[in-house]
Structure 1
Amino acid sequence: MLRVKTYIAQSGIHGTGLFAGAPIAKGAVIWGFDPPLDQRFTPDDVKQMSPPMKAFLSRYAYSDRGTLVLCGDHARFMNHSPQPNCGNDPTRQFTLALRDIAEGEELTDNYATMEDSWEPFAGIIEPERM
Protein backbone atom coordinates (compact mmCIF):
# COMPACT_ATOMS: atom_id res chain seq x y z
CA MET A 1 0.00 0.00 0.00
CA LEU A 2 1.20 3.50 -0.72
CA ARG A 3 2.81 5.18 2.28
CA VAL A 4 3.10 8.71 0.83
CA LYS A 5 0.63 11.22 -0.56
CA THR A 6 0.13 10.59 -4.29
CA TYR A 7 -2.31 11.17 -7.11
CA ILE A 8 -2.82 9.78 -10.59
CA ALA A 9 -2.81 11.91 -13.73
CA GLN A 10 -1.93 11.82 -17.41
CA SER A 11 1.70 10.72 -17.80
CA GLY A 12 4.25 12.07 -20.24
CA ILE A 13 5.78 8.57 -20.19
CA HIS A 14 2.79 6.31 -20.83
CA GLY A 15 -0.96 6.61 -20.22
CA THR A 16 -1.77 7.24 -16.58
CA GLY A 17 1.01 7.82 -14.08
CA LEU A 18 1.51 8.08 -10.32
CA PHE A 19 2.67 11.46 -9.02
CA ALA A 20 4.00 12.77 -5.70
CA GLY A 21 1.31 14.73 -3.85
CA ALA A 22 3.95 16.25 -1.56
CA PRO A 23 7.76 16.32 -1.47
CA ILE A 24 9.31 12.92 -0.72
CA ALA A 25 12.74 12.62 0.93
CA LYS A 26 15.40 10.25 -0.36
CA GLY A 27 15.05 6.88 1.40
CA ALA A 28 11.37 7.34 2.28
CA VAL A 29 9.15 4.28 1.92
CA ILE A 30 6.84 4.89 -1.04
CA TRP A 31 5.01 1.54 -1.04
CA GLY A 32 4.95 -1.65 1.01
CA PHE A 33 3.36 -5.04 0.37
CA ASP A 34 0.28 -5.07 2.63
CA PRO A 35 -2.13 -7.99 2.31
CA PRO A 36 -5.02 -8.33 1.97
CA LEU A 37 -5.10 -5.11 -0.07
CA ASP A 38 -2.06 -6.20 -2.09
CA GLN A 39 -2.28 -9.71 -3.53
CA ARG A 40 0.04 -12.49 -4.73
CA PHE A 41 -1.09 -14.99 -7.34
CA THR A 42 0.62 -18.31 -8.16
CA PRO A 43 0.65 -19.86 -11.63
CA ASP A 44 -2.11 -22.25 -10.46
CA ASP A 45 -4.23 -19.25 -9.35
CA VAL A 46 -3.79 -17.56 -12.73
CA LYS A 47 -4.65 -20.75 -14.67
CA GLN A 48 -8.12 -20.64 -13.09
CA MET A 49 -8.78 -17.02 -14.12
CA SER A 50 -10.92 -15.75 -16.97
CA PRO A 51 -9.28 -13.99 -19.95
CA PRO A 52 -10.33 -10.51 -18.69
CA MET A 53 -8.75 -11.23 -15.29
CA LYS A 54 -5.54 -12.41 -16.96
CA ALA A 55 -5.51 -9.29 -19.15
CA PHE A 56 -5.83 -7.10 -16.04
CA LEU A 57 -2.94 -8.89 -14.33
CA SER A 58 -0.88 -8.73 -17.51
CA ARG A 59 -1.23 -4.95 -17.48
CA TYR A 60 -0.94 -4.16 -13.78
CA ALA A 61 0.87 -6.99 -11.95
CA TYR A 62 4.58 -7.64 -11.69
CA SER A 63 6.47 -10.89 -11.24
CA ASP A 64 8.18 -11.53 -7.91
CA ARG A 65 9.65 -14.86 -6.79
CA GLY A 66 7.33 -17.08 -8.82
CA THR A 67 4.17 -15.09 -8.10
CA LEU A 68 2.39 -12.15 -9.66
CA VAL A 69 1.95 -9.20 -7.30
CA LEU A 70 -1.02 -6.89 -7.79
CA CYS A 71 -0.98 -3.59 -5.94
CA GLY A 72 -4.47 -2.93 -4.58
CA ASP A 73 -4.09 0.84 -4.77
CA HIS A 74 -2.85 3.42 -7.27
CA ALA A 75 0.75 2.14 -7.00
CA ARG A 76 -0.07 -0.01 -10.04
CA PHE A 77 0.12 3.18 -12.13
CA MET A 78 3.86 3.64 -11.50
CA ASN A 79 5.52 3.77 -14.92
CA HIS A 80 8.89 2.52 -16.10
CA SER A 81 11.97 4.67 -16.46
CA PRO A 82 15.58 3.65 -17.15
CA GLN A 83 16.51 6.44 -14.68
CA PRO A 84 13.88 5.84 -11.97
CA ASN A 85 13.35 7.88 -8.84
CA CYS A 86 12.06 4.82 -6.93
CA GLY A 87 13.44 1.32 -6.35
CA ASN A 88 13.18 -1.80 -4.18
CA ASP A 89 14.72 -2.30 -0.77
CA PRO A 90 16.91 -5.44 -0.42
CA THR A 91 13.97 -7.53 0.88
CA ARG A 92 11.79 -6.44 -2.06
CA GLN A 93 8.93 -5.77 0.32
CA PHE A 94 9.17 -1.98 -0.01
CA THR A 95 9.64 0.63 -2.72
CA LEU A 96 11.92 3.49 -1.65
CA ALA A 97 12.68 6.97 -2.96
CA LEU A 98 16.12 6.77 -4.60
CA ARG A 99 16.51 10.53 -4.36
CA ASP A 100 14.53 13.54 -3.18
CA ILE A 101 11.32 13.76 -5.23
CA ALA A 102 9.49 17.04 -5.76
CA GLU A 103 5.75 17.49 -5.35
CA GLY A 104 4.11 16.89 -8.74
CA GLU A 105 6.95 14.71 -10.05
CA GLU A 106 5.99 11.38 -11.60
CA LEU A 107 7.08 8.36 -9.55
CA THR A 108 8.93 5.79 -11.66
CA ASP A 109 10.66 2.45 -11.28
CA ASN A 110 12.93 0.44 -13.57
CA TYR A 111 10.87 -2.62 -14.52
CA ALA A 112 14.03 -4.46 -15.57
CA THR A 113 15.37 -4.41 -12.01
CA MET A 114 12.15 -4.39 -9.96
CA GLU A 115 10.71 -7.67 -11.13
CA ASP A 116 11.64 -11.26 -11.91
CA SER A 117 11.12 -13.22 -15.10
CA TRP A 118 7.58 -14.14 -16.05
CA GLU A 119 8.83 -17.64 -16.93
CA PRO A 120 6.69 -19.37 -14.24
CA PHE A 121 3.67 -18.01 -16.14
CA ALA A 122 4.80 -19.02 -19.66
CA GLY A 123 1.86 -20.38 -21.61
CA ILE A 124 -0.56 -19.05 -19.00
CA ILE A 125 -0.19 -15.26 -19.30
CA GLU A 126 2.25 -12.88 -20.97
CA PRO A 127 3.23 -9.50 -19.55
CA GLU A 128 1.97 -6.38 -21.28
CA ARG A 129 4.79 -3.88 -21.59
CA MET A 130 5.16 -0.49 -23.26
Structure 2
Amino acid sequence: MFTPIPLEPGVVLWCFDPAIDQRLPLGNLEPRQLAELLHFGYVNPERPAFVVVCGDQARFWNFPLPGEPANASPSDQIKGGEAVIVACRMIAAEEELLIHPSSDADYFRKMGLCHQQPAAGHLFN
Protein backbone atom coordinates (compact mmCIF):
# COMPACT_ATOMS: atom_id res chain seq x y z
CA MET A 1 0.00 0.00 0.00
CA PHE A 2 1.53 3.31 -1.07
CA THR A 3 0.55 6.91 -0.41
CA PRO A 4 0.06 9.20 -3.41
CA ILE A 5 0.68 12.31 -1.26
CA PRO A 6 3.08 13.30 1.54
CA LEU A 7 1.74 12.60 5.03
CA GLU A 8 2.60 14.48 8.22
CA PRO A 9 3.34 12.67 11.51
CA GLY A 10 0.13 12.01 13.44
CA VAL A 11 -2.12 11.89 10.36
CA VAL A 12 -4.77 9.18 10.76
CA LEU A 13 -4.16 6.41 8.23
CA TRP A 14 -6.79 3.90 9.36
CA CYS A 15 -9.48 3.42 11.97
CA PHE A 16 -12.01 0.66 12.50
CA ASP A 17 -15.27 1.34 10.67
CA PRO A 18 -18.02 -1.19 11.45
CA ALA A 19 -19.67 -0.38 8.11
CA ILE A 20 -16.76 -1.98 6.22
CA ASP A 21 -14.50 -3.76 8.74
CA GLN A 22 -15.30 -7.00 10.59
CA ARG A 23 -14.26 -8.46 13.93
CA LEU A 24 -14.74 -12.23 13.90
CA PRO A 25 -14.32 -14.72 16.77
CA LEU A 26 -11.52 -17.16 15.96
CA GLY A 27 -13.18 -20.04 17.80
CA ASN A 28 -15.95 -20.34 15.19
CA LEU A 29 -13.70 -20.66 12.14
CA GLU A 30 -12.75 -23.75 10.17
CA PRO A 31 -8.98 -24.19 9.51
CA ARG A 32 -9.12 -23.10 5.85
CA GLN A 33 -11.24 -20.04 6.69
CA LEU A 34 -8.94 -19.24 9.63
CA ALA A 35 -5.84 -19.35 7.41
CA GLU A 36 -7.38 -17.01 4.83
CA LEU A 37 -8.64 -14.51 7.39
CA LEU A 38 -5.32 -14.47 9.25
CA HIS A 39 -3.51 -13.80 5.96
CA PHE A 40 -5.47 -10.61 5.28
CA GLY A 41 -6.64 -9.74 8.78
CA TYR A 42 -4.88 -8.97 12.01
CA VAL A 43 -5.19 -10.09 15.60
CA ASN A 44 -5.40 -7.26 18.10
CA PRO A 45 -2.92 -8.13 20.89
CA GLU A 46 -5.49 -6.76 23.37
CA ARG A 47 -8.22 -9.07 22.02
CA PRO A 48 -6.46 -12.25 20.79
CA ALA A 49 -9.67 -14.30 20.46
CA PHE A 50 -10.73 -12.25 17.40
CA VAL A 51 -9.41 -11.49 13.94
CA VAL A 52 -10.10 -8.06 12.44
CA VAL A 53 -10.60 -8.06 8.69
CA CYS A 54 -10.33 -4.67 7.03
CA GLY A 55 -12.84 -4.08 4.26
CA ASP A 56 -10.63 -1.52 2.53
CA GLN A 57 -7.05 -1.43 1.23
CA ALA A 58 -5.66 -1.71 4.79
CA ARG A 59 -5.89 -5.49 4.36
CA PHE A 60 -2.82 -5.19 2.10
CA TRP A 61 -0.68 -3.33 4.65
CA ASN A 62 2.82 -4.78 4.99
CA PHE A 63 5.25 -4.92 7.87
CA PRO A 64 8.75 -3.51 7.46
CA LEU A 65 11.56 -6.02 7.10
CA PRO A 66 12.90 -7.19 10.49
CA GLY A 67 15.11 -4.47 11.91
CA GLU A 68 13.68 -1.79 9.61
CA PRO A 69 11.49 1.00 11.03
CA ALA A 70 7.76 1.27 10.42
CA ASN A 71 6.22 4.56 9.32
CA ALA A 72 2.77 3.81 10.76
CA SER A 73 1.80 2.58 14.20
CA PRO A 74 -1.14 2.14 16.55
CA SER A 75 -1.92 5.28 18.54
CA ASP A 76 -3.52 5.73 21.95
CA GLN A 77 -6.76 6.74 20.20
CA ILE A 78 -9.42 4.01 20.06
CA LYS A 79 -12.30 3.86 17.58
CA GLY A 80 -14.68 0.91 17.39
CA GLY A 81 -12.57 -0.93 19.94
CA GLU A 82 -9.43 -0.82 17.79
CA ALA A 83 -6.39 1.43 17.91
CA VAL A 84 -6.35 4.23 15.35
CA ILE A 85 -3.31 3.87 13.07
CA VAL A 86 -1.30 7.05 12.49
CA ALA A 87 1.81 8.12 10.61
CA CYS A 88 4.68 7.99 13.11
CA ARG A 89 6.96 10.16 10.97
CA MET A 90 6.86 12.20 7.78
CA ILE A 91 5.94 9.88 4.90
CA ALA A 92 6.91 10.91 1.38
CA ALA A 93 4.60 10.68 -1.63
CA GLU A 94 4.86 7.26 -3.32
CA GLU A 95 6.34 5.71 -0.14
CA GLU A 96 5.01 2.35 1.01
CA LEU A 97 3.03 2.42 4.24
CA LEU A 98 4.57 -0.06 6.69
CA ILE A 99 2.71 -0.94 9.88
CA HIS A 100 4.50 -1.52 13.18
CA PRO A 101 4.63 -5.22 14.15
CA SER A 102 3.06 -4.47 17.55
CA SER A 103 -0.24 -4.00 15.71
CA ASP A 104 -0.69 -7.74 15.06
CA ALA A 105 -0.36 -10.57 17.58
CA ASP A 106 0.07 -12.88 14.55
CA TYR A 107 3.20 -11.00 13.34
CA PHE A 108 5.75 -13.73 14.08
CA ARG A 109 3.85 -16.41 12.14
CA LYS A 110 3.20 -14.07 9.21
CA MET A 111 6.90 -13.19 8.99
CA GLY A 112 7.91 -16.86 9.00
CA LEU A 113 9.48 -16.59 12.45
CA CYS A 114 7.00 -19.13 13.84
CA HIS A 115 5.80 -21.90 11.55
CA GLN A 116 2.96 -23.18 13.70
CA GLN A 117 -0.53 -22.46 12.37
CA PRO A 118 -2.61 -21.44 15.38
CA ALA A 119 -5.70 -23.49 16.13
CA ALA A 120 -9.00 -21.63 16.12
CA GLY A 121 -9.67 -20.18 19.54
CA HIS A 122 -6.16 -20.99 20.81
CA LEU A 123 -3.99 -18.20 19.46
CA PHE A 124 -0.81 -16.90 20.98
CA ASN A 125 -0.94 -18.57 24.37
In proportion to residue count, which structure has more strand? Answer: 1
The question of a shared fold, defined as TM-score above 0.5 by the shorter chain, is answered with yes
Secondary structure in 2 matching 1:108: coil
Deviation at 1:23, TM superposition (A): 1.1
- Corresponding residue for residue 15 of structure 1: none
Q: Which runs of 5+ in 2 are unaligned?
A: 108-116
- Corresponding residue for residue 62 of structure 1: 42
Secondary structure in 1 matching 2:90: coil
Runs of 4 or more above 3 Å deviation: none
Q: Which runs of 5+ in 1 are unaligned?
A: 1-17
TM-score, length-normalised on structure 2? 0.72
- Corresponding residue for residue 114 of structure 1: 103
Deviation at 1:126, TM superposition (A): 9.4
Q: How many residues align?
A: 104
- Corresponding residue for residue 113 of structure 2: none
- 1:38–1:103: structure 2 CA closer, same or farther, 3 Å change rule? same
1:97 equivalenced with 2:87 (yes/no): yes
- 1:78–1:19: structure 2 CA closer, same or farther, 3 Å change rule? same
- 1:76–1:125: structure 2 CA closer, same or farther, 3 Å change rule? farther
State how far apart, in whole Å, the 2-side matches of 1:35 and 1:42 are.
15
Deviation at 1:50, TM superposition (A): 6.7
Query: Identity over the aligned pairs, expressed in percent?
Result: 30
Secondary structure in 1 matching 2:2: strand
User: Greater RCO between the two (CA within 8 Å, min separation 6)?
Assistant: 2
- Corresponding residue for residue 22 of structure 2: 39
Measured on the aligned residues, the alpha-carbon RMSD in Å equals 2.6
